[in-house]
Amino acid sequence: MGADDQQERPEMIGWVVGFVDGEGTFSISLFRNESSKLGWQVFPEFVVTQSERNRDALGLLKEFFGCGSIYRNRRHDNRRHDNHKEDLLRYCVRNRKQLWQKIIPFFKEHPLKTSKRQDFELFVEAMELISRGEHLTERGLRRIARIAAKMNRKVPSAFLESSETVRRTGPKRA
């Protein structure tokens, strides 16, 4: 490693942490899915969103982590961002193996400096439950839902309202 690399690599690491502190999201979403065992699918995701003109910055993240994809959210698909004139791009890592092997170890070694660190820790907690298959049990799924609710309120409120929710909204029996 040359002198430049010794300087540049830590700066790049720092940039990734800072940019994710600003623009990143760790999320655990729960979606209705009739084909899942309990009727809900758990969807962990690491996302960084930028406007079209910052595609290069998302490309740097993709190159840095060596995984993930950049998706386009067309403006008419995203009414919450109607004040933007450009499409939004989302760098996403959804693959659980890549989350475990690349994203999680990086942010364990290089902690975030904002409150997103707490979101990250909750994300890891949920991922640990998923890796043990607990999302396939009613009790585990409920724990994951509670963790997700603490993170970014993407859990349908109906899911948390009743202790009978999982059973009640589960897949129809044949």
Q: Which of 106, 29, 27, 26 is nearest to 66 (CA)?
A: 106
Residue 50 CB, shortest distance to a copy of itself, in Å, is: 7
Q: Is residue 120 a contact partner of residue 126, using CB atoms and an 8 Å limit?
A: no
If binding is defined by CB under 8 A, does position 19 make contact with a copy of itself? yes
If binding is defined by CB under 8 A, does position 13 make contact with a copy of itself? yes
Beta bridge partners of 29: 43
Among 41, 54, 73, 78, binds a copy of itself (CB under 8 A): 54
Outline where the chain has alpha helix (H).
Answer: 3-23, 55-65, 96-98, 104-109, 116-131, 138-152, 157-161, 165-169
- By CB under 8 A, the residues from 90 to 119 that bind a copy of itself are 110, 113-115
Among 2, 4, 6, 153, binds a copy of itself (CB under 8 A): 6
Among 25, 27, 50, 165, binds a copy of itself (CB under 8 A): 50
If binding is defined by CB under 8 A, does position 122 make contact with a copy of itself? no
Q: Round to whole Å and give the CA distance between 92 and 45.
A: 7
Residue 172 CB, shortest distance to a copy of itself, in Å, is: 37
Give the distance from CA 136 to its chain's centroid: 19
Beta bridge partners of 113: none
Residue 39 CB, shortest distance to a copy of itself, in Å, is: 31
| Nearest residue (CB) to a copy of itself, 7 versus 162 | 7
If binding is defined by CB under 8 A, does position 84 make contact with a copy of itself? no
Beta bridge partners of 90: 49, 71
- Which residues contact a copy of itself (rule: CB under 8 A)? 6-8, 10-23, 50-51, 53-54, 56-57, 60, 110, 113-115
